[in-house]
Amino acid sequence: MTHLSPSEFADALDGTLRPECAAHLETCAGCRAQADAAAEALARASRVEIPDPSPLFWDHLSARVRDAIASERPHAPGRFAWSWLRPVTLALMAALATLAIALTLPRGRPPVAPPAGVDAGASPSRGAAPRAAAGPGSEIVSGGDEAWDLLSEAVSEVGLEEAHAAGLTVRPGEIDRAVLDMTPVERAALGRLLRQELKRAGA
Amino acid sequence: MSTHVWIGAVPPEWKVTVTGAATDAREQPPLDASDDAALVAACLAGRRDAFDVIVERHRRHVYRLCYRFVGNHEDASDLAQDVFVRAYRGLRGFKGQSSIGTWLYRIAVNVSLNKVASKTPPQEPIAESAAAPFEHPAEALMRDERAEQVRAAIARLPRKQRATLILRIYHELPHEQIAGILGSSVGAVKANFFHALGNLRKLLRDA
């Protein structure tokens, strides 16, 4: 039999050495010496204790951890607060994407207007104003519609991957109907709801 | 899980359905009796108090492990806090393939090794165990000196040997669990342990 491997020496220290290895250890002086040396080092290291902290320390540590994570974003509440918005934000995302595509379409195609009321107050002409205000790379100007601003902000925080991971699928026809057909009153109602949810979620 | 349907606040043709964890206190089970997996699930469902229970269960082991690496209370308590904060942040990534204890040990080993790699922390005096009730001061001094030699020798071991030795001797973890913590095979952990003891003996002999 060959000499013990390092792994087998560890087994010897644990008392879990295979019988054939144990038999070798009994007869091999070299292996015996190594095993004894390891056992001696183990015994010496095992005697070293560390001081126990004050019994009050443990609760103090818990309190420190609690304080530290209090500033962290909670796991589920955030998800819960926003989860109901996902169909809406997805729809808005698609609507914004539609707008962006429409605004950068080649000449010859008619400009696509944003949802009714988006540019209200910014221009009397709905079709032309966004195109003029939002060239390639520039942002769409809401023209003071708070609900639209809020919805846009919500959209900016939802990624496609996240939405996909949540099992949501986008069906363009429905999105168009749900978003582009929104009236100013509906958007105002949704805006109110969003603000309430944001306030509740502490956003 | 619960399902909520909002009506009235959205256009009539909309039906907004929310699926998420219930936050109604009446539906929340007691946490103290929950196992770690249930506590993790509760944390992910938004119950921060579930994480308090996790901290309470594992704080002693985490602190003591950190102390073995850094050798003083102040750094050990800071590291222990860091371990739990990191764990909280990474809780969503915890897949339950190992126990949460193993996972916390893994974080603790990593933050502790990073700490001692960046700076040698000040060491507090530690002692060998089994002190006699009426020990002579000279004997106590020698005992403390021997303990200090061992700690200094352990601090000079290679990282993996050091971590293996600490987890095996002072936390009495099985080789399999140490392998899970260090990301090694069981055979490698056993070999590391044996080599750590051999190196420790050499370092103590030279001290």
Contact B179, B188 (CB under 8 A): yes
Identify the band that residue A84 occupies on the pLDDT scale cut at 50, 70 and 90. very low
Local structure of A136: helix, strand or coil: coil
**Residue-level pLDDT at B19:** 63
Chain B stretch 147-186, residues whose beta carbon is closer than 8 A to a beta carbon of chain A: 147, 150-151, 154, 165, 169-170, 175
Q: Kindly tell me if the per-residue pLDDT of B103 is higher than 60.
A: yes
Average pLDDT in chain B: 86
Residues of B in contact with A51 (CB under 8 A): 73, 124, 126-127
Identify the band that residue A188 occupies on the pLDDT scale cut at 50, 70 and 90. confident
Tell me what the mean pLDDT of segment B74-99 comes to.
93
**Residue-level pLDDT at A201:** 61
Of A41, A69, A79, the CB nearest to B51: A69
Question: What are A130-170's pLDDT values in tens digits?
Answer: 443 333 333 444 445 565 565 556 555 555 555 555 555 45
Q: Determine the Cα–Cα distance for residues A66 and B53; give it in Å rounded to an integer.
A: 11
**Residue-level pLDDT at A83:** 45
**Residue-level pLDDT at B138:** 83
**Residue-level pLDDT at A124:** 42
Count of helix runs (H) and strand runs (E) in chain B: 8, 3
A178–B68: do the CB atoms touch at under 8 Å?
Answer: no
Identify the band that residue B167 occupies on the pLDDT scale cut at 50, 70 and 90. very high
Residues of B in contact with A38 (CB under 8 A): 194, 197-198, 201
A51–B73: do the CB atoms touch at under 8 Å?
Answer: yes
Tell me what the mean pLDDT of segment A69-88 comes to.
59
Tell me what the mean pLDDT of segment A162-182 comes to.
54
Local structure of B188: helix, strand or coil: helix
Identify the band that residue B106 occupies on the pLDDT scale cut at 50, 70 and 90. very high
Element (H, E) at B20: strand B16-20
User: ipTM of this predicted complex?
Assistant: 0.78
Percent of chain B with pLDDT over 70: 81
Q: Determine the Cα–Cα distance for residues B64 and B121; give it in Å rounded to an integer.
A: 15
Residues of A in contact with B43 (CB under 8 A): 75
Q: Determine the Cα–Cα distance for residues B84 and A66; give it in Å rounded to an integer.
A: 9
A186–B11: do the CB atoms touch at under 8 Å?
Answer: yes
Q: Give just the sign of the alpha carbon dihedral A167, A200, B56, B169.
A: positive
Mutate to test the interface with A, among B5, B194, B205, B206 (most CBs of A within 10 A): B194
Question: What are A99-138's pLDDT values in tens digits?
Answer: 666 666 555 445 445 555 444 444 444 444 444 333 333 3
Tell me what the mean pLDDT of segment B81-98 comes to.
92
Q: Kindly tell me if the per-residue pLDDT of B59 is higher than 90.
A: yes
Question: What are B120-151's pLDDT values in tens digits?
Answer: 777 776 666 655 666 777 888 888 889 999 99
